[in-house]
């Protein structure tokens, strides 16, 4: 039953990513179309994409290292667990969050803003943050030393806290941001990661 839950979740995550990708591709296609009407349409689209405020910049700069740590945690599952539910969750997390990191980097470049940092210490500089679910280096080192059922339990516990922080950050973007693409990503993060939290809680019992 749990495996079915995780499989369904992984399918939903990939579907959401594909929808987002298709949406992005269609915008790109219209931007490269040669007709004058397409040019006008793509110009309006570019203006909408270029609109951003401080909340959008903060979201992209701070969610990037947050995602980066989640991807790092997902990679730890390989060789440390044979639990198919944990393996499927780790794969779904990596598949969803790596492309989002790439998009956030592109937005910041487009907006003329500093690139995101991989320095986890900067997370504590967020006005609305008390770590936002980020793990310390000690936490990460301790996790790498575990395997089997002990790894599964600690990985799930840490990832729930991590996802909870991401949802809080995404909700700030939804409330305060002005860039439509960034707000759409924030809504996707809230929906996808809440589903994953529910699945992980069920796995922990």
Report pLDDT digits (tens) over 18-36: 444 444 444 444 444 444 4
Nearest to residue 135, comparing CAs of 119, 158, 116, 104? 158
Per-residue pLDDT of 41-75, as tens digits, reads 555 455 556 799 999 999 999 999 999 999 999 99
**Would you state the pLDDT for residue 21?**
43
**Would you state the pLDDT for residue 8?**
47
The residue ranking higher by pLDDT, 155 or 14, is: 155
**Would you state the pLDDT for residue 144?**
97
The full set of domains in the chain, from first to last, is 2-204 (1.20.1260.10)
Least confident of 45-49, 80-84, 125-129: 125-129
Nearest to residue 120, comparing CAs of 173, 62, 170, 168? 62
Mean local confidence (pLDDT), 149-160: 98
Confirm if 155 and 81 have CB atoms less than 8 A apart: yes
- pTM here is 0.75
Is the pLDDT at 14 greater than 90? The verdict is: no
**Would you state the pLDDT for residue 123?**
47
Give the Cα separation of 187 and 184 in Å (integer): 5
């Amino acid at each position: 039953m749990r495996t079915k839950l995780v499989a369904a979740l992984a399918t939903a995550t990939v579907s959401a990513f594909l929808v987002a990708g298709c949406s992005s591709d269609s915008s790109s296609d219209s931007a490269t179309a040669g007709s004058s009407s397409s040019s006008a349409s793509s110009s309006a689209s570019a203006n909408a994409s270029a609109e951003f405020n401080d909340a959008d910049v903060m979201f992209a700069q701070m969610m990037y290292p947050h995602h980066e740590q989640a991807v790092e945690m997902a990679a730890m599952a390989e060789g440390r667990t044979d639990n198919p539910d944990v393996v499927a969750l780790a794969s779904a997390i990596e598949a969803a969050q790596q492309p989002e990191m790439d998009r956030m980097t592109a937005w910041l470049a487009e907006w003329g803003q500093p690139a995101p940092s991989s320095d986890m210490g900067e997370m504590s500089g967020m006005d609305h943050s008390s770590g936002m679910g980020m793990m310390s280096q000690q936490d990460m080192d301790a996790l790498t030393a575990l395997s089997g059922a002990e790894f599964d339990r600690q990985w799930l516990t840490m990832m729930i806290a991590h996802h909870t922080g991401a949802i809080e950050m995404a909700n700030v973007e939804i409330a305060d941001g002005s860039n439509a693409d960034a707000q759409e990503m924030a809504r996707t993060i809230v929906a996808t990661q809440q589903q994953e939290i529910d699945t992980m809680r069920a796995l922990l019992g």
